[in-house]
Structure formats: structure tokens, C-alpha cells
Structure 1
Amino acid sequence: MINFPVIPEQKMVQRLAHPKRKVRMVLDTDTFNEIDDQFAVIYALKSPENMTIEAFYAAPFYNDLSTGPKDGMEKSYNELLKIRSLLPEMAGIPVHRGSESYLPGAETPVESAAARDLVERAMASSEDDPLYVVAIGAITNVASAILMEPRIIERIVVVWLGGHALHWRDAREFNLAQDLHASRVILNSGVPLVLIPVMGVTSHLLTTLSEIETHVKEKGAIGQYLYETFRDCCDDHYAYSRVIWDISTIAYLNNESWLSSSLVHSPVLSEDFRWSIDNSRHFIRYVDHIHRDSVFRDLFRKL
């Protein structure tokens, strides 16, 4: 059984407060899976006043766009390289391949360049200046790093888009449901966690092709790339809007007032992907609302 360090409650509360300063961060992303990851990657790179990106990690995913987790990770890795070719701000930032499979067991990590890099960067950080780990895909890489070196939980803060709102009928969201073992590691290990749910919270982050055409398309090569990515995601854009979920994590670091949150006890995740509450568990920060207009206004302005 793995013994995770226990962060005292007072220190946990302090760690879960918004940093209110520029942070060091890594971004873990299944970039090829959806169109929102691309927006989040670019939004982060366009926010240097609030974050310094030290590395990108390709996360695994498995759906109609991949033949399995390994293929999804490779496609995400290649998509990150494509963005780097379009955006000068990304030059020199390392991009690492992540896990080729999901966790095979509750205490068994999956070795990868991403997980090893995260351990190294986290252990080089201090408790007073933790590394922010922003995750917008399956949490496999991050959970693997924690299992490989549990002491990193004292030196990181995880900001994860995962699961649905605690009041939702279930927690079966794509990022969370892909890797149940990894999701439970994040919720159970005691790592400082900012949890940003999908349905009921980031589902407010809707935009349309017309809005993207007006505010994004003419913003150079990267604007054209985002516009074409959005345009090609659907055959019929009449009265159609799409959620750009992943930018919520970057928005949280940019301005805490745009995402309403509170401290709650880390929820228990069941085998059938349902939430339950145990008030003896450690605290996490839970986002319960997002101000859609403020987030998109900031994104559009920075482009």
C-alpha cells in the first residue's frame, strides 16, 4: 500500500487559495481529442503575465478519433508540435509523450517521459513555490507521477477539468471516466486539487462560428488555425454552439473572480462513476460557476 504524505489542514487550505501571482506550470492535454484543447494551449501561451509554461505533456485518449490510448497520445503529441510551428511563444518549451495506456491498477503507474518529467520538475520545486499542474484530459500522466514519487503532492497543485458537478446525476465525464484508477488517485491521495467540473459548470463556455469568425479568424496564422478547427468540427453551424471547456483551467489562473469556488471535502468516486461525500476527507477547491463572457473576452483580447 502506498503511503501518501499528509498535508496538514491549515497548509492545505493555504495551498488551495488562489495564487494571486504568476505561477510556474505544466499543461497536460489530449490535444487531438477535441477542439477546446487547442484553444486552451494557445490561451495559456498568450497569458505570460500570469503563468510560465515549463512543459507540455501529451495525454492518452480513446474514442472515434483514435485506435486506442497510445494512438490518442501520439496524435495529441503531434498536434502540440503543429501548434508550436504556428506560435512563436511555444518555441523552446519541451513537449513530452505521455502514457501509452491507462493505469492497470490502483497503485501501478504507467512509465512515460511526461510522468518522469513531472516528478523531476515537482521535486525541484519548493512547498512555498509549488508547480501548478494543469490537466485537461485523462489524468493518467499526473496520477502516474504521484504513484512513482508520492512526495510530489507536497510540491504541486493540480488544476483539473474532470467529472461533472457534484449535484449532477453521475460523474461519468470523458476525462474522468477514461481512467478510473487515475481519477481515484487524484481524489484520494491528498494532492492539492482544484476541480473544475464539466456539466453544470464549464458547460456555460459556449461560443459559435459567427463569434469565432468575428473575433478570432483575423488574428494571424494562429487565429486562422483556431477558426478552421472550429469550422470543421461540425457540418451544420446553423443555430449551433459548441463548448470550449478546457479554457476554464487557464481562466482560473488568470482571474479567480471569473470562477466561483469553495472548499469542499474531496468526493468519493464509485465504481459506477457516482459521487458521494465523506466529511472526514481532505479539502479540495471546487468550482461551481463560471462567468462565460469574462473568459471569452479575455481570450479574444489576448489573441
Structure 2
Amino acid sequence: MATPRARVIIDNDFSGDPDGLFQLVHHVLSPSVEIPFAIGSHLSPDDPFDSSSRQADNAVKVAKEILSLLGLERQPPVLLGSNVGLSSPIEPIRTEAAEAIVAEAMREDTDLPLYVALGAGLTELASAHLIEPRIAERLTAVWIGGAEPEGVAVGPKGPRGIEYNLNIDVTAGQVIFNNSQIPIWQVPRNVYRQCLVSRAELHSRVKPMGRIGARLIEAIDQVFDGAEKVGLLMGETYALGDSPLVLLTALQSSFEPDSSSSFHSTVPTPRINPDGSYGANPDGRPMRQYTHVDNRLMFEDFYHKIAAFAAENPDRQIATGRDDSLHRARGTVRSD
């Protein structure tokens, strides 16, 4: 069993795209990281995955349900984030989650590096920075989000608005990119779209793995069923686009720890414009912009960990009841 060598705060919209559920399970089953807490955060208003006004509350419920299926002796608490995005680039939303990020970053009793693994918007981290700017020197933001870098990749065909995760809270994106010194490791849309798995492999390698495996695949199947009802045919694959959060934090190299199996460029941190596009900022602080992630390591590690967990916990093989209203796919899905 590996000893933790980093701390990871998980922040995700767990009532939305179920890729975050896979990331949560994978991170919790990774012994090389210590997870002080997870955060349930909001989606965009009227998001088809969860159109309610209580998206963060629902995210907390879903995350707690997933963790209860794992039934680990020690599992991270799930804290409530804001149900809405920032209304001002200078005014934080003081949630328990934002305050907890500050407290964790400012700890003096540990030397373990701190990552904030963000699979949705940036509301909580932006609020934490507005509450206490000194956290910028004490953590690294690993974010799944942002459009394709200009000159590096092109976006999907068809009309495109603001990239999905940035669109959750553009103002928060501006706080982190434009107004902070927080180090950023960005996994933009062209890279998280690389994280494809087939439904065949999911049904073969995840679904049989006890209650948790069945629950994860049920969430994916509901998205496909809901999409088909509105005429969207999704084919045979799904993007588990939040899984790089595990790869880049928990699955670093043994010697000289880093995300050495994936490729990135170091670029000046661009500005985020109000329309979600990038603005040139040649004097911006250095930022990692990933161009390729190691899908083999990332997904094989997940498959083996969930299989080992199921084998070690035969008492968790029978599914239990739950609240379907929190997990039903509603309409269309994120563009992956």
C-alpha cells in the first residue's frame, strides 16, 4: 500500500455528467493521495443534467451515495459548494467549501503538496482566493476545462459556445486566470475529449464489479437512454473526461514525481475574455497546458483498482435502493 505523498481536494458537479463519479471512485481508491474532502459544486443554470436550483446540494447527495457504496472505513467528507456562480470578480461566495479550501491551503502541519482537482467550474476556488489570496502560493489547480488553444487544436464541428466547464462560471474563470497567481495545470477540451472508453469495455470491466461498478454503469446507460429519447445518437463510446484529474495527481512517476507519462506545454497564462475566449497575455505566469494524456495508465489503473476492491469486498455485491430522481439523464449531454 502506497503512502500518501500529496493532498487532493476534489471539486466536481456530481449531479451532472457521470464522468465525475468515475473520477471520485478512482481518486478515493488511490492510496498515494490523501483527500481532505470533496466538494459538490453547481452546473450552469438549467443544465440538462440537473435543471434545478439546488445543483450543489444534489451533487453532495450523489457523491455521498457513491462513497456509501464503497463503504470505506475512512472516506472524505463531502462539503457543499455554492448553487450559483460568482456575480462579481471581487466578491466571494462564502460557502463551507470555499472556507475549507482556505483552511487546507493554510495548514502548517504538513509538507504534502496540495492540488485542487476541478472537474467542473471554478466557483469555489475563486471564492477561496478572494477570501485569502495567499493560497495562490500554497496549491496547484488542476482543471478540466477551457477551449482548445489557438494554433494547437480545433474545436468540434458545428456551432460552439463557451466551453462547458468554463461556461459554468466565466467570472470565476477570470478570477483564477486573470486576477490570481495560482499555478494552473489545464486539461482543455481537445485533451479531455481524448479520454474515450467504449461502452463494451465499461460493461465488461466495470459493471460486474459489485454495487459500485453497477452503479457507475447505470449512470452512463441513463445518459445514453436520455439522449436517444431526444434524438441524439451517441454511438459506442463515452468520454470519461474528468479522469485526468487522477492521472495527473495520483499516478505521477515514482522518482522525481510528476505527470511524466502525459505531455504538456508551458505557456503564459492567457486571459479569459467575457465570451470565454482566450486573450493574449505574454507576461502571464507560466501555466501547464496539457496536449496528451496517458489513457493506458489512467484507465487500466482504474479497472484494476475497482476489480481489486470488488474482490476484497464480496459483501458489497448486491445493489441497494436509492433516489433515482438525482441520477436520471435529462435531455442532451456535454459536448465530448
Which range, TM-score by smaller chain? 0.7 to 0.9
Following the alignment from structure 1 to structure 2, what is the Cα–Cα distance between the partners of residues 238 and 100?
29
2:17–2:49 Cα contact (<8 Å) kept: no
SS in 1 for 2:15: coil
- Deviations 1:2-38, CA, capped at 9 Å, x for gaps: xxxxxxxxxxxxxxxxxxx720111011011011000
Give the one of 154, 162, 174 matched to 2:164: 174
Aligned match for 1:108, one of 77, 91, 94? 91
Q: Secondary structure at 1:89's aligned position in 2?
A: coil
Q: Which sections of structure 2, spanning at least 5 residues, go unmatched?
A: 253-258, 307-336
Query: What's the TM-score, normalizing by structure 1?
Result: 0.86
Identical-pair percentage: 27
TM-score (norm 2): 0.78
Q: Does 1:288 align with 2:278?
A: no
Identify the range of structure 1 (262-271 vs 128-137) with the bigger mean alpha-carbon deviation: 128-137
Return closer, same or farther for 1:294/1:273 CA change in 2, 3 Å cut-off. Answer: same
SS in 2 for 1:143: helix
- Say yes or no: does 1:229 pair with 2:212: no
2:182 to 191, 196, 219: 191
Q: 2: CA distance between counterparts of 1:268 and 1:141?
A: 19
Match of 2:39 in 1: 57
Question: Hey, what does 1:97 align to over in structure 2?
Answer: 80
Indicate yes or no: 2:196 matched with 1:213. no
Partners in 1 of 2:200 and 2:112 — Cα distance? Answer: 41
What is the alpha-carbon distance in structure 1 between the residues aligned to residue 21 and residue 296 of structure 2? 19
Is 1:252 matched with 2:248? Answer: yes
C-alpha distance in structure 2 between counterparts of 1:130 and 1:238, whole Å: 39
* In structure 1, distance between residues paired with 2:73 and 2:203: 24
What's the CA shift for 1:171?
Answer: 8.0
How many Å apart are 1:263 and its aligned residue? 1.4
The unaligned stretches of length 5 or more in structure 1 are 1-20
Report if the CA contact (8 A) 1:23-1:52 is conserved.
yes
Identify if the C-alpha distance between structure 1 residues 29 and 251 changes in structure 2 by more than 3 Å, giving closer, same or farther: same
Q: CA RMSD in A?
A: 2.0
Question: Using the alignment, how far apart are the partners of 1:262 and 1:213 within structure 2?
Answer: 35
Residues 160-185 of structure 1, C-alpha deviation per residue, up to 9 Å, x if partnerless? Answer: 11112213457821111121110011
| Pair 225,103 (structure 1): closer, same or farther in 2 beyond 3 Å | same
How many aligned positions are there? 280
- Secondary structure class of the residue paired with 2:224: coil
The range that moved more, 237-246 or 263-272, is 237-246
Q: Distance in 2 between matches of 1:46 and 1:31?
A: 17
Say which SS state the counterpart of residue 212 (structure 2) adopts.
helix
Deviation, structure 1 residue 127: 9.6
Moved >6 Å (runs of 4+): none
Structure 1 distance, partners of 2:102, 2:234, is: 46
- CA separation in 1, counterparts of 2:68 and 2:174? 36
Given the alignment, which residue of 129, 133, 140 partners 2:123? Answer: 140
Structure 1: which amino acid aligns with 2:99?
R
Deviation at 1:92, TM superposition (A): 4.2
After TM superposition, give the deviation of residue 238 of structure 1 in Å: 8.1
Structure 2 counterpart of 1:293, one-letter code: R
Distance 1:238 1:262, change over 3 A: closer
Separation in structure 1 between the aligned mates of residue 285 and residue 183 of structure 2, nearest angstrom = 9
User: Which residue number corresponds to residue 319 of structure 2?
Assistant: none
